[in-house]
């Protein structure tokens, strides 16, 4: 990697379990995209999810956020099975995500985009427009978009769009935040900025799931790393152990190591 | 300029309340039609403009409104108010029953599904004996165009006030989020089905009342004119011409188109429909986001805006 090494923070103390999957499986016709995956993330814990393209990472996130129904297995949020809970209600429970293909609301300004998150997030969000706008402003400041709130979301550049995705998800005040490749397509300097942003989020009591290709970044951010390969979990341990695992290197890192 | 729009609209609405005092009978009749059409376009705007769902089923609510009033007044000799209420109840039930299954469909599939509704209702009411089958109903005659004018104006004001509220409320933000990206809206906590169905119900209320007023004014109801899909096409055209998803666009758009049509029909009756079509085609090419977008640009507007619209649409 060309980016300067990012020091690994001491892991925050993990609390009670926020999200859990048991034997989660998704088939598309004959293809098993996610196969029998068990996953646990506690509050204040960050799980890094890596794996080659097509390993089933986004499918797994889709099943947790509720946009895709599992073929088998269970998703549990704070101990309750939520398989039949629709996506919008999972948002009310406290699950938020960003999208790999960024999805800003085109006809809206940056502020309005984030206001939607504040209006509809956890517990149904703020009922009052003024309160929601105020909260949206705070999260835009937090993510470094404070100076661009009145701009149309379409006119934002790549890195700012990533920040917008963050702000939208954070305005929902989630208990579980799913970050799907928020560093893809960013240059090393921008990656460092996003890493700093995630570090700030980590200290706020949430459970975090980060899908990422930038190994240096994910090593420094994760308390644990889970590796998917052809839909199966092949490793789930602390970053150092996982990244030295020969199976992981063979499946994924072998091709990428320089 | 934006903060003058609301006061200006209120002044215009108050002024319009006095039009029957000095205008000719023909003029008042033109305005009753224009006001009712504007209400239909504005009601369509709630789900179509804000929620992004193109409905061709709104004319069904119009038909239920006309028949609610028609059956109540002609068959059961009930007062006009009761007829309106029956029409609204029928339309709301219709919107809920139809909306729940059909609003699960997206984009063009939703539009196609709603297209079938007119035909179905036409067949039902053509065979319903309390609606006098396909012969139609004759309502008691009331020669009071001023009353019909004021009722129509009041309904349009109420409908526009509702849309104004939608445009600045949590509810409206949810609808716009659905329009821009329904999946993203869902993962952010917007109950899309509930929002879409309530938008359709809200639209059905105003549409049905407009139908009821028209039925009593016109004193005649028959299946073909009550469930007329071209009326729905006009709602869409007027709303899109004026500016979908805006508060005053659909109103101004339908006034302008009503006037254009009236002038064309008076000058050259034979080619009026053709020229009217031409106006709409040109409008869609040069200002696809409607009059509201053109006016909203204010002084920044130049011929480049229209050229850009053409190139963006790859024409």
Our CA dihedral for B291, B292, B295, B301, rounded to 10 degrees, sits at -80
Cβ pair A18, A41 in contact under 8 A:
yes
Q: What is the mean pLDDT of residues A132-136?
A: 96
Q: Give the mean model confidence (pLDDT) for residues B177-182.
A: 94
- Which residue from A96, A106, A122 is facing B180, i.e. has the nearest CB? A106
A236-250 exposure pattern, b = at least 16 Cβ within 10 A, e = fewer? beebeebbebeebee
- Both A59 and A149 in one domain: the answer is no
Please tell me the predicted confidence (pLDDT) of residue B136.
93
pLDDT value at A121 more than 60: yes
Distance from CA of A232 to the nearest CA of B (A): 26
Query: CA B62, CA B237: separation in Å to the nearest integer?
Result: 17
Average pLDDT rounded to a whole number, residues B86-112? 93
Instruction: Supply the DSSP string of B253-275, one letter for each residue.
Output: HHHHHHHHHHHHHHH-TTTHHHH
Q: Alpha-carbon distance A99 to B25, whole Å?
A: 60
Determine the residue among A65, A116, A135, A179 to mutate to test chain B binding: the one whose Cβ has the most chain B Cβ atoms within 10 Å.
Answer: A116
> Looking at chain B, which residue has its C-alpha nearest residue A119?
B170
Question: Shortest Cα distance from B296 to chain A (angstroms)?
Answer: 15
pLDDT at A13 over 60: no
What CATH number did the domain enclosing A210 receive?
3.40.50.300
CB nearest A116 (choices: B169, B177, B192): B177
Query: Where is average pLDDT lowest: A17-26, A244-253, B57-66?
Result: A244-253
Cβ atoms B251, B146 nearer than 8 A = no
What is the average per-residue pLDDT within B7-13?
95
Residues contacting B262, CB < 8 A, separation 6+: B30
Give residue B85's pLDDT: 98
What angle in degrees, to the nearest 10, is found between the helix axes of B58-70 and B25-45?
130
Whether the per-residue pLDDT at B53 is higher than 90: the answer is yes
- Residue-number span of the structural domain to which A198 is assigned: 1-94+175-258
Any chain B CB within 8 A of the CB of A154?
no
Question: Which B residues in the span 241-300 are in contact with A, Cβ-Cβ below 8 Å?
Answer: 245
| Binary contact (A121, B188; C-beta < 8 A) | yes
Task: Name the domain boundary from A174, A196, A214.
Answer: A174
Q: Are residues A161 and A191 in the same domain?
A: no
Per-residue pLDDT at B310 = 79
Looking at the DSSP bridge assignments, the partners of residue A155 are none
From the list B176, B179, B189, the residue facing A92 with the nearest CB is B189
CA B219 from chain centre, in angstroms, equals 21
Q: Give the whole-angstrom CA distance, residue B250 versus residue B19.
A: 21
Burial class for B148, CB neighbours closer than 10 Å (0-12, 13-18, 19+) = buried
Instruction: Using a CB–CB cutoff of 8 Å, tell me whether A69 touches chain B.
Output: no
Nearest residue in B to A169, CA atom: B188
pLDDT given at position B67: 97
Same domain, A134 and A150: yes
Q: Please indicate whether residue B230 or residue A252 has the higher confidence score (pLDDT).
A: B230
Identify whether residues A81 and A35 lie together within a single domain.
yes
Position A255 scores a pLDDT of 55
Task: Answer left, alpha or beta for residue B183, where phi above 0 means left and psi between -120 and 50 means alpha.
Answer: alpha
pLDDT at B45 over 80: yes
* Same domain as A170, residue A184: no
CA distance A239 to chain B (A): 30
Q: Measured between beta carbons, which residues in chain B are less than 8 angstroms from residue A132? A: 170
Confidence check: pLDDT of A5 > 60: no
| pLDDT tier at A253, thresholds 50, 70, 90 | low
| pLDDT at residue A205, as a whole number | 85
A258 and A183 assigned to the same domain: yes
- pLDDT at residue B1, as a whole number: 60
Q: Are residues A168 and A155 in the same domain?
A: yes
Least confident piece of the model among A4-8, A134-138, B254-258: A4-8
What average pLDDT does the segment B5-24 reach? 94
Q: Are residues A85 and A213 in the same domain?
A: yes
pLDDT class of A8 with cuts at 50, 70, 90? very low
Q: Of A125-129, B29-33, B258-262, B309-313, where does mean pLDDT reach its minimum? A: B309-313
Q: Which residue of B has its CA nearest to A106?
A: B180
A123 touches chain B (CB under 8 A): no
Q: What is the ipTM of this complex?
A: 0.87
- Rounded Cα distance between A226 and A232, Å, is 10
pLDDT-derived band at B69 (thresholds 50, 70, 90) equals very high
Residue A116 to residue B168, Cβ atoms within 8 A: no
A106 at B interface, C-beta within 8 A: yes
Q: Is the pLDDT of residue B315 over 60?
A: no
Residue B18 has pLDDT above 50, yes or no: yes
| % of residues, chain B, pLDDT over 90 | 76
- Closest by CA to A221, choosing from A203, A245, A244, A235, is A203
Same domain for A117 and A185, yes or no, is no
Q: Which residue has the higher pLDDT, A166 or B302?
A: A166
Mapped onto helix, strand or coil, the DSSP state of residue A194 is: helix
How many angstroms from the chain centroid is the CA of residue A62? 11
pLDDT at B314 (0 to 100):
57
Domains and CATH numbers, chain B: 2-236 (1.10.3470.10)
Facing A116 at nearest CB: one of B168, B173, B183: B173
How large is the average pLDDT for residues A159-187? 92
State the nearest Cα–Cα gap between B172 and chain A, in angstroms.
10
The residue among A20, A27, A113, A97 whose CA lies nearest residue A65 is A97
Residue B200 to chain A, least CA–CA distance (Å): 20
Number of domain units in chain A: 2
Kindly tell me if the per-residue pLDDT of A52 is higher than 90: no
* Contact (CB<8Å) B188/A66: no
CB A50 within 8 A of CB A246: no
- The answer to whether residue A158 neighbours chain B at the CB level (below 8 Å) is no
Q: How crowded is the C-beta side of B169, counted as CA atoms within 13 Å? A: 13
Q: Which residues, 6+ apart, have CB-to-CB distance to B264 below 8 Å?
A: B271, B272, B275, B276
For residue A254, give how far its alpha carbon lies from the nearest alpha carbon of chain B (Å): 35
Collect all residues of chain A within an 8 Å Cβ-Cβ radius of residue B180: 105-108
In a 10 Å sphere around its CB, with 0-12 CB exposed, 13-18 middle and 19+ buried, how is residue A76 labelled? middle
Closest chain B residue by Cα to residue A113: B177
pLDDT of A70 above 50: yes
Q: Which of A174, A198, A219 is the last residue before a domain boundary?
A: A174
Q: Are residues A48 and A62 in the same domain?
A: yes
Residues 166 through 225 of chain B touching chain A, CB cutoff 8 Å = 168-170, 173-174, 176-177, 179-181, 183-192
Taking residues B81-106, what's their average pLDDT? 95
Q: Which residue in B188, B191, B197, B290 has the most chain A C-beta atoms within 10 A of its own C-beta, making it the best mutation to test that interface?
A: B188
Distance from CA of B241 to the nearest CA of A (A): 18
CA–CA dist B207, B137 (Å, integer): 20
The verdict on A65 touching B (C-beta cutoff 8 Å) is yes
Rounded CA-CA distance A122/A88 in Å is: 10
Mean pLDDT of chain A: 88
What is the pLDDT, as a whole number, of residue B287?
85
At residue A12, the pLDDT reads: 46
Can you give the pLDDT at residue A254? 57
Q: How confident is the model at residue A2 (pLDDT cuts 50, 70, 90)?
A: very low
Tell me how many residue pairs between chain A and chain B have CB atoms under 8 A apart: 81
What per-residue confidence (pLDDT) applies to B274?
Answer: 83
Inter-chain touch A66–B187, beta carbons under 8 Å: yes
Predicted pLDDT of residue B79: 96
Quickly list DSSP for A111-146.
Answer: HHHHHHHHHHSGGG--SSHHHHHHHHHHHHHHTT-G
CA distance A157 to chain B (A): 19
A152 and A234 fall within a common domain: no
Are A111 and A222 members of one domain?
Answer: no
Q: Is A92 on the interface with B (CB under 8 A)?
A: yes
Q: Taking all residues of chain B, what is their mean pLDDT, rounded to a whole number?
A: 92
**End-of-domain residue from the set A117, A151, A174:** A174
Q: How far is A250 from chain B (nearest CA, A)?
A: 35
A96 in contact with chain B, both atoms CB, cutoff 8 A: yes
The reported pLDDT for the residue numbered B157 is: 98
Residue A28 has pLDDT above 50, yes or no: yes
What six digits make up the tokens of A143? 């993510």
Interface of B with A in 25-44 (CB under 8 A): none
Q: What is the pLDDT of residue B313?
A: 65
């Amino acid at each position: 990697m060309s980016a300067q090494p990012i020091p690994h923070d001491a892991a925050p103390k993990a609390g009670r379990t926020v999200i859990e999957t048991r034997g989660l499986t998704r088939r598309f016709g004959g293809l098993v995209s996610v196969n029998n995956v068990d996953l646990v993330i506690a509050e204040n814990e960050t799980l890094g999810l890596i794996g080659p393209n097509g390993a089933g990472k986004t499918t797994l996130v889709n099943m947790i956020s509720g946009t895709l129904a599992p073929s088998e297995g269970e998703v549990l949020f704070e101990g309750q099975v939520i398989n039949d809970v629709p996506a919008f209600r999972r948002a009310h429970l406290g699950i938020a995500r960003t999208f790999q293909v960024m999805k800003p609301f085109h006809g809206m300004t940056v502020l309005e985009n984030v206001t939607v998150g504040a209006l509809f997030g956890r517990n149904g969000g703020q009922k009052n427009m003024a309160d929601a706008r105020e909260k949206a402003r705070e999260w835009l400041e937090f993510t470094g978009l404070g100076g661009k709130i009145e701009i149309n979301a379409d006119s934002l550049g790549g890195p700012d769009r990533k920040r917008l995705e963050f702000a939208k998800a954070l305005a929902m005040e989630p208990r579980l935040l799913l970050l799907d490749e928020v560093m893809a397509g960013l240059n090393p300097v921008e990656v460092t900025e996003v890493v700093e942003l995630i570090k700030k989020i980590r200290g706020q009591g949430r459970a975090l799931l980060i899908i990422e290709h930038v190994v240096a970044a994910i090593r420094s951010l994760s308390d644990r790393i889970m590796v998917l390969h052809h839909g199966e979990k092949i490793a789930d341990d602390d970053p150092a152990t996982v990244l030295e695992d020969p199976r992981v290197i063979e499946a994924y890192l072998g091709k990428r190591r320089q | 300029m934006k903060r003058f729009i609301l006061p200006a609209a209120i002044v215009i609405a108050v002024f319009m309340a006095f039009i029957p005092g000095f205008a000719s009978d023909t003029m008042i009749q033109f305005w009753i039609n224009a006001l009712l059409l504007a209400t239909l376009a504005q009601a369509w705007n709630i789900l179509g403009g804000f929620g992004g769902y193109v409905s061709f089923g709104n004319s069904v609510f119009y038909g239920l409104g006309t028949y609610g009033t028609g059956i109540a007044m002609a068959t059961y000799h009930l007062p006009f108010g009761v007829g309106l209420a029956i029409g609204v109840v029928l339309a709301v039930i219709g919107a809920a029953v139809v909306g729940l299954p059909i609003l699960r469909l997206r984009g063009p599939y939703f539009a196609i599904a709603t297209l079938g509704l007119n035909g179905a209702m036409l067949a039902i009411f053509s065979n319903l004996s309390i609606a006098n089958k396909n012969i139609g109903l004759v309502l008691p005659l009331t020669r009071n165009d001023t009353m019909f004018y004021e009722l129509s104006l009041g309904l349009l004001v109420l409908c526009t006030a509702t849309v104004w509220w939608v445009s600045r409320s949590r509810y409206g933000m949810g609808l716009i989020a659905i329009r821009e990206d329904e999946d993203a809206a869902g993962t952010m906590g917007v109950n899309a089905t509930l929002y879409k169905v309530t938008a359709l119900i809200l639209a059905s209320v105003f549409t049905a009342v407009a139908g009821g007023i028209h039925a009593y004014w016109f004193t005649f109801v028959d299946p073909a004119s009550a469930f007329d899909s071209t009326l729905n096409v006009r709602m869409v055209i007027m709303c899109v011409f004026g500016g979908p998803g805006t508060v005053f666009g659909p109103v101004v758009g339908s006034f302008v188109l009503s006037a254009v049509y009236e002038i064309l029909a008076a000058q050259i009756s034979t080619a009026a429909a053709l020229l009217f079509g031409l106006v709409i085609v040109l409008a869609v090419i040069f200002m696809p986001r409607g009059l509201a977008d053109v006016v909203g640009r204010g002084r920044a507007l130049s011929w480049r805006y229209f050229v850009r619209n053409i190139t963006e649409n790859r024409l």
